[in-house]
Amino acid sequence: MKMLPVRLEDLRRIVEENKNLVVKVGDTYEISRPLALKLWNAFVSMMTEEGGSVREEVKVEYVSPEMVIVSVCCTVAVQGREVRYCEIGEAHRSEGKEGTMARTAYTRAMKRLLERMIGEDFINQVIRKLYPEGVKEAPASEKQKQLIRSLVQEGKITKEMVDKVLKGEISLNQALKENTLTFSQAKRLIDMALGRVLDE
């Protein structure tokens, strides 16, 4: 897949220069909503400079007193082609996010969306440099794991899909049993199984 015309160094610099907008959540570090918006605006400007356009759609997928899931989709038309990307973000009350769960879920979705569109986890790379103690990704949710088990039984998740997502390092059964499957890995498997992976 041909990458979008993005100046990756400029985006990395925005994260580095706004270290105060990287916040600690539990035992990990994440970008805050203001930093996600700075990155998004910079990305839109880059596409506009290339004569392109960007359309964003935000949707609340799930709400409960304990958790909120938000999806962010982006359609980019640039250099004679159009691509669409979607990502989801989640926030849990148990993280101390009561009252701000929707904002946190949106920020996480936006971060994943930017990294997917650019084809590199540049935000985590910069955060690892700023905070060498590391960045831990959220584990797969129980709902995701249940859906994955159902899709495996239906034959919709193939060995090739698992190898592509887990890079052959561990079996899906083992990852589910040991709770090492991450939220983004689970989402990617589900998207592939349901035919929702676009421009792959």
Query: For every one of its 200 residues, what pLDDT tens digit does the chain have, with 9 covering 90 and above?
Result: 456 778 889 999 999 999 889 887 766 788 999 999 999 999 999 999 989 999 999 999 999 998 999 999 999 998 888 999 999 999 888 877 677 889 999 999 999 999 888 877 888 888 888 887 655 567 788 888 889 999 999 999 988 889 888 887 778 888 888 778 888 888 889 888 887 654 44
Residue 50: CATH number of its domain:
3.30.160
Same domain, 120 and 147: no
Q: Is residue 152 part of a domain?
A: yes
Choose the final residue of a domain: 82, 101, 130: 130
Q: Is residue 169 part of a domain?
A: yes
Q: Is residue 137 part of a domain?
A: no
In which domain, by residue range, is 83 found?
Answer: 8-130
Q: Is residue 39 part of a domain?
A: yes
**pLDDT score of 136:** 58
Same domain, 108 and 156: no
Same domain, 117 and 181: no
**pLDDT score of 198:** 47
Handedness of CA 183, 186, 190, 196 (dihedral sign): positive
Choose the final residue of a domain: 106, 130, 154: 130
User: b/e map of 7-36 (b: 16 or more CB within 10 Å)?
Assistant: eeeebbebbeeeeebbeebeebbbbbbebb
Same domain, 185 and 100: no
CB 78 within 8 A of CB 65: no
How many residues are present in the chain? 200
Rounded CA Rg of the chain: 17
Q: Is residue 135 part of a domain?
A: no
Same domain, 84 and 178: no
**pLDDT score of 133:** 63
CB 164 within 8 A of CB 193: no
The Cα 1–Cα 33 span in angstroms is 29
The Cα 94–Cα 9 span in angstroms is 35
* Terminal-to-terminal C-alpha distance of the chain: 7
Q: Is residue 106 part of a domain?
A: yes
Same domain, 38 and 93: yes
Give the other-Cβ count within 10 Å of 120's Cβ. 16
**pLDDT score of 48:** 92
Same domain, 94 and 50: yes
pTM attached to this predicted model: 0.65
H helix runs in 67-169, sequence order? 101-118, 122-130, 142-153, 159-166
Q: Is residue 1 part of a domain?
A: no
**pLDDT score of 199:** 40
Distances (CA, A) of 140 to 71, 145, 187, 192: 16, 7, 8, 16
Q: Is residue 93 part of a domain?
A: yes
Closest CA to 61 of 190, 192, 199: 190
Same domain, 189 and 159: yes
Total domains, the chain: 2
